[in-house]
């Protein structure tokens, strides 16, 4: 009996769309189901609209900073509904573009669930496929404390009708620090509650400390080492009760306490697909699940939850199953950025991670960037190289400061290619830039052991 499709993809986000397009391009008959938005989280309620909001906050700061350069301007009042309307227009355009990318596949605006390892229910229709790829992504974790229903999560933040004046952000991960910067940059009073002493656990300590300092300089209140006991609604005010008895009154409580693989209700048991204790689909190095004809890519596998990684996984799987063989990506040292205010760019090992492999030479530069010599804004840039002492290879590069994500993309090529500190030293800088500091760090700051 022949199947309806060679391969059926559940989820039309970054990973699923790339897989589907590539597989169809290699001649496979491909079906794709998406129940919510084509383009998935990144395009609709993640990276892309988030960055537009970050840019909106940056324009306000730039207007204020320009006074130091002789401009007689002030940021004025920010019109949040106008920003959201403009953002929505752009996201709808992208959404349509993603849908058109599916022209070579059969697409379904529907939810798909497993009936068995080769059969899906797609919006009430029974569909069979030789292979199935799960690319359903993740969803924000909803907190469990009393009054959690009064909190919003990142999905909701992109559609707020107005920007509230007082906002409490819960968590200290990517999403929390990015939105704290957006809200504060657009004029809200922001409190951030983190259970650690510093935000961004897992990032290099110098970046974490630098960001905490920059957030506080921006007027954000960091409640360090604190957790939430409950949230109480008093009229339109939300009162956040911390476990130590502190109370914070706000108009909005934004919970950014992590994301979770989206596998609920998929019927994985019917297909013999195993998950780990957190609901993520377990896969081998080739993205194959415990059921041999079923694969999973992207955040639903909870490996490295980043859009370009999901795309690489999808592309590589399509090439392997239907094309010339898998394209190689270096997933060991993936550069990443946090669009906080200021942003962070990072690739490779932190100082603490490198020290576990043996002594590491650490080079750190902390300085006031040129633009802030006249802007009047107190803001430092921090740049750091982590060098394995034995091989002299640069094993990590980190930067907090304007343009850090743009600068780190180029550096990640050098680091993935195995550049040594001597290679950096013999590279002539581009002057005057902040980036040139990465090739002019002559004096070792310390040795990490």
Calpha distance 275→265 (Å, rounded): 13
Among residues 42, 163, 231, 337, the one that binds ligand NDP under rule CB under 6 A: 337
Among residues 75, 123, 258, 267, the one that binds ligand NDP under rule CB under 6 A: 258
Among residues 44, 218, 263, 305, the one that binds ligand NDP under rule CB under 6 A: 305
Asked whether the CA dihedral 241, 247, 249, 255 is positive or negative, the reply is: negative
List CB contacts of 138: < 8 A, sequence separation 6 or more.
Answer: 41, 259, 260, 261, 262, 299, 300, 302, 305
Calpha distance 367→380 (Å, rounded): 5
* Shortest distance, position 178 Cβ to ligand NDP, whole Å: 6
Counting Cβ atoms within 10 Å, is residue 252 exposed (0-12), middle (13-18) or buried (19+)?
buried
Residues in a beta bridge with 126: 121
Among residues 165, 196, 264, 378, the one that binds ligand NDP under rule CB under 6 A: 196
The position carrying tokens 């960001």 is 211
With left for phi above 0 and alpha for psi between -120 and 50, is residue 29 left, alpha or beta?
A: beta
* Shortest distance, position 360 Cβ to ligand NDP, whole Å: 24
Q: Is 118 a catalytic residue?
A: no
Q: Which of residues 57-76 bind ligand NDP (CB under 6 A)?
A: none
According to the binding rule CB under 6 A, does residue 40 interact with ligand NDP?
Answer: no
- Helices 80-101 and 14-25, axial angle in degrees (round to 10): 30
According to the binding rule CB under 6 A, does residue 344 interact with ligand NDP?
Answer: no
Helix ranges (DSSP H) in 161-217: 174-185, 205-217
According to the binding rule CB under 6 A, does residue 157 interact with ligand NDP?
Answer: no
Q: Which of residues 212-231 bind ligand NDP (CB under 6 A)?
A: 227
User: Which residue, 26 or 150, has its beta carbon nearer to ligand NDP?
Assistant: 150
Counting Cβ atoms within 10 Å, is residue 292 exposed (0-12), middle (13-18) or buried (19+)?
exposed
User: Which residue, 113 or 260, has its beta carbon nearer to ligand NDP?
Assistant: 260
Binding segment for ligand NDP (CB under 6 A), chosen from 13-21, 92-100, 102-110, 255-263, is 255-263
Binding segment for ligand NDP (CB under 6 A), chosen from 161-169, 192-200, 360-368, 371-379, is 192-200
Of 26, 78, 223, 431, which is the active-site residue? 431
Residue count, binding to ligand NDP (CB under 6 A): 22
According to the binding rule CB under 6 A, does residue 340 interact with ligand NDP?
Answer: no
Answer whether 177's CB lies under 8 Å from 214's CB.
no
According to the binding rule CB under 6 A, does residue 176 interact with ligand NDP?
Answer: yes
Binding segment for ligand NDP (CB under 6 A), chosen from 91-99, 126-134, 208-216, 253-261, is 253-261
* Shortest distance, position 51 Cβ to ligand NDP, whole Å: 9
Answer whether 50's CB lies under 8 Å from 44's CB.
no
Calpha distance 416→395 (Å, rounded): 9
According to the binding rule CB under 6 A, does residue 51 interact with ligand NDP?
Answer: no
Footprint of ligand NDP (CB under 6 A): 171-176, 178, 194-196, 201, 227, 256-259, 305-306, 336-339
Active site residues: 431
């Amino acid at each position: 009996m022949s199947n309806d499709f060679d391969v059926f993809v559940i989820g039309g986000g970054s990973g699923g769309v790339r897989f589907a397009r590539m597989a169809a391009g290699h001649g496979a008959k491909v079906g794709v189901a998406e129940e919510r938005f084509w383009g998935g989280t990144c395009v609709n309620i993640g990276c892309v609209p988030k960055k537009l909001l970050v840019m909106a906050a940056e324009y306000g700061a730039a207007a204020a900073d320009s006074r130091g350069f002789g401009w007689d301007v002030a940021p004025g009042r920010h019109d949040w509904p106008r920003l959201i309307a403009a953002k929505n227009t752009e996201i709808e355009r992208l959404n349509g573009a993603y849908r058109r990318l599916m022209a070579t596949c059969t697409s379904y605006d529907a939810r798909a669930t497993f009936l068995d390892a080769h059969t899906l229910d797609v919006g009430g229709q029974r569909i069979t496929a030789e292979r199935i790829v799960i690319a359903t992504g993740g969803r924000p974790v909803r907190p469990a404390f009393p009054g959690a229903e009064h909190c919003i999560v990142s999905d909701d933040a992109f559609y707020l009708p107005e920007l509230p004046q007082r906002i409490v952000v819960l968590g200290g991960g990517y999403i929390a620090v990015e939105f704290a910067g957006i809200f504060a940059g657009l004029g809200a009073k922001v409190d951030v509650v983190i259970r650690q002493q510093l935000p961004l656990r897992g990032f290099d300590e110098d970046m974490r400390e630098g960001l905490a300092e920059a957030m506080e300089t921006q007027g954000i209140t960091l409640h360090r080492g604190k957790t939430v006991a409950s949230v109480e609604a008093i009229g339109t005010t939300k009162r956040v009760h911390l476990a130590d008895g502190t109370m914070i009154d706000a108009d909005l409580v934004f919970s950014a306490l992590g994301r979770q693989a989206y596998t609920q209700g998929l019927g994985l048991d019917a297909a013999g697909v195993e998950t780990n204790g957190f609901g993520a689909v377990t896969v081998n190095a080739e993205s194959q699940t415990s059921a041999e004809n079923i694969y999973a890519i992207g955040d639903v596998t909870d490996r490295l939850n980043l859009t370009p990684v999901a795309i690489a996984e999808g592309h590589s799987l399509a090439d392997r199953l239907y094309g010339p063989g898998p394209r190689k990506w270096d997933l060991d040292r993936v550069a990443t950025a946090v669009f906080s205010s200021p942003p962070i760019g990072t690739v490779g090992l932190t100082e603490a991670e490198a020290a576990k492999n043996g002594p590491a030479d650490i080079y750190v530069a902390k300085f006031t960037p040129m633009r802030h010599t006249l802007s009047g804004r107190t803001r430092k840039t921090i740049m750091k190289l982590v060098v394995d002492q034995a091989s002299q290879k640069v094993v990590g590069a980190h930067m907090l400061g304007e343009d850090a994500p743009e600068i780190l993309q180029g550096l990640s090529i050098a680091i993935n290619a195995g550049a040594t500190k001597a290679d950096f030293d013999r590279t002539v800088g581009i002057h005057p830039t902040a980036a040139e500091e990465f090739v002019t760090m002559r004096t070792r700051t310390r040795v990490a052991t």
